Amino acid sequence: MQRSDETSRRPEFRARYFVESSESIQKTAEVIAGEQSSGTFLDVPGETDELKQRARARVTRLQTLPPAMEPSLRSACVERRGHRGPYHRGEVEIAFPVDNVGANLPALLATVAGNLFELGDVTGLRLLDLDLPADYAARFAGSQFGVQGTRDKAGVHGRPLIGTIVKPSVGLTAAQTAALVDSLCAAGIDFIKDDELLVDPAYAPFEARLAAVMPVLHRHADRLGRMPMYAFNLSGSIDEMLRRHDQVHAAGGTCVMVSLNWAGFSGVEHLRRHSALPIHGHRNGWGALTRHPQLGFEFAAYQKLWRLAGVDQLHVGGLRSKFCESDDTVVQAARDCLAPFAGLPPVMPVFSSGQWAGHAPETFARVASTDLMHLAGGGIVSHPDGVAAGVASMREGWEAACAGVPLDDYAQERPALRAALRRFGSLA
């Protein structure tokens, strides 16, 4: 079913939702459009036709789906009414006037992902996707480096960036971190990141880690002709993030990392406006926003919001990872990051969690791109022959994947990959 109530020429952006409700999808869609623009639960005297014309959201598409007999999520409101089902389901697209929001990320979120999750009749609501006109999207900070800028800074082209996370995640001293980085760089790694738990611990302050790590990176950069990219986790207060960014930049570093959901849209966009470096976006907490299929966010929408804010690299999980998401979800997330969006550049999908060389062939086959970052934590630092062999095994896994050679064959003459297959094979 297709609807278009108005032919207004005002600029609009659109949000698409899965909706489940004790009321009809038609009525629920109208309630959402009202609540998220100029309406409320009662008729409001001031909502004139003229005001509606400039401010009211409208339902632009509506597709009903088979109803459920039990609600996906409980609602005290529905229960008070003694409603016994059915729970109508559908997909709904709503168009909002750009003029209501402007280039304001918190206001955009309050509009497309605000109180509507809590509406009383609603027993399921998920933001599936967003669509913004390019000239509207251009008013946000937006990704500055994306795939191409990340590759240029890292000096890695034509293959994925092979990376790792400093492990143990927390607890290492600055000197211990630098020693680990040294061995990773010696092994030819492309990318290293701090764990999301690690920023500025008492026993390894940010500045001490930076001071210990950067000379190591420079030494290897001189040798390699490219500086291994290190994503320093600078998450913290606004002042700390800017100061740490400047310290990283002044020291010659090439990447900073931030916990997106907790620094927040205002925090991340501010960092982006200030930043001379690619921003590695860590999505920790994402599970709370996405894990129930009838609640929260689909990654398609989530990644667009963070591309507006300005991330350049974004975590997508990993195939057969230690996390809960299905491989299909992970692959789709990577494709989302690489897909065009309103004139913004594609961003690097970051594969991480329980990864090792054995994941390369299927990752390549399913994403159909080498524009990605493949991070192995334990898969590198716990390689039985050491980190050098761990990095080599990852590189060899991707060589095999890109060449279309089975890993076992490719491993015949390559002891690092062979040892990885022997040690980690049961994990794939």
Within residues 63-92, the interface with a second copy by CB under 8 A covers: 73-78, 80
H/E stretch holding 374 reads: strand 373-375
* Least distance (Å) between residue 260 CB and a second copy: 8
Return the residue of 1, 2, 7, 40 that touches a second copy, per CB under 8 A.
40
Nearest Cα residue to 338 out of 377, 306, 308, 371: 371
* Least distance (Å) between residue 155 CB and a second copy: 28
Looking at beta carbons only, is 4 or 266 nearer to a second copy? 266
Is the link from the previous residue into 168 a cis peptide, with omega within 30 of 0?
yes
Burial (CB < 10 A; 0-12, 13-18, 19+), residue 82, is: exposed
Handedness of CA 191, 333, 371, 252 (dihedral sign): negative
Return the residue of 6, 70, 118, 135 that touches a second copy, per CB under 8 A.
118
Helix axes 105-112, 260-274, angle to 10 degrees: 140
Looking at beta carbons only, is 46 or 404 nearer to a second copy? 46
* Least distance (Å) between residue 125 CB and a second copy: 8
- The yes or no reply on residue 332 touching a second copy (CB under 8 A) is no
**Two tokens, residue 95:** 């168009």
Nearby residues of 118 by Cβ (< 8 Å), 6 or more positions away:
none
- The yes or no reply on residue 133 touching a second copy (CB under 8 A) is no
- The yes or no reply on residue 163 touching a second copy (CB under 8 A) is no
- The yes or no reply on residue 109 touching a second copy (CB under 8 A) is yes
* Least distance (Å) between residue 407 CB and a second copy: 19
Contact between residue 420 and residue 356 where contact means Cβ atoms under 8 Å apart = yes
- The yes or no reply on residue 406 touching a second copy (CB under 8 A) is no
- The yes or no reply on residue 261 touching a second copy (CB under 8 A) is yes
Looking at beta carbons only, is 99 or 409 nearer to a second copy? 99
Return the residue of 378, 388, 402, 415 that touches a second copy, per CB under 8 A.
378
Looking at beta carbons only, is 276 or 405 nearer to a second copy? 276
Distance, CA of 158 to CA of 203 (rounded, Å): 39
Return the residue of 120, 155, 188, 345 that touches a second copy, per CB under 8 A.
120
Return the residue of 111, 150, 303, 332 that touches a second copy, per CB under 8 A.
111
Binding span for a second copy by CB under 8 A among 40-48, 219-227, 391-399, 403-411 = 40-48
CA angle centred on 363, ends 264 and 383, rounded to 5°: 90
Burial (CB < 10 A; 0-12, 13-18, 19+), residue 46, is: exposed
- The yes or no reply on residue 36 touching a second copy (CB under 8 A) is yes
Looking at beta carbons only, is 295 or 367 nearer to a second copy? 295
H/E stretch holding 269 reads: helix 260-274
Return the residue of 26, 61, 83, 107 that touches a second copy, per CB under 8 A.
107
Looking at beta carbons only, is 73 or 224 nearer to a second copy? 73
Which CA distances in Å does 242 have to 245, 268, 275? Answer: 5, 11, 8
Return the residue of 92, 113, 178, 407 that touches a second copy, per CB under 8 A.
113
* Least distance (Å) between residue 298 CB and a second copy: 12
Distance, CA of 245 to CA of 237 (rounded, Å): 12
Return the residue of 4, 5, 41, 157 that touches a second copy, per CB under 8 A.
41
Return the residue of 155, 188, 264, 415 that touches a second copy, per CB under 8 A.
264
Pairing of β 255-259 and β 229-233: parallel
Looking at beta carbons only, is 227 or 263 nearer to a second copy? 263
Nearest Cα residue to 122 out of 75, 61, 68: 75
* Least distance (Å) between residue 393 CB and a second copy: 14
The identity of residue 268, as a single letter, is: V
- Matching residue, tokens 């206001």: 107
Site map 267..306 versus a second copy, x via CB under 8 A: xxxx--x--------x-xxxxxx-xxx-xxx---------
Contact between residue 380 and residue 390 where contact means Cβ atoms under 8 Å apart = yes
Nearby residues of 288 by Cβ (< 8 Å), 6 or more positions away:
296
Across the beta sheet with 58-68, the strand order is: 58-68, 87-97, 12-21, 122-131, 295-297
**Two tokens, residue 361:** 């062939």
- The yes or no reply on residue 167 touching a second copy (CB under 8 A) is yes
Site map 173..192 versus a second copy, x via CB under 8 A: ---x---x------------
Binding span for a second copy by CB under 8 A among 59-67, 342-350, 372-380, 406-414 = 372-380
Ranges within 233-252 binding a second copy (CB under 8 A): 235-241
Nearby residues of 246 by Cβ (< 8 Å), 6 or more positions away:
none
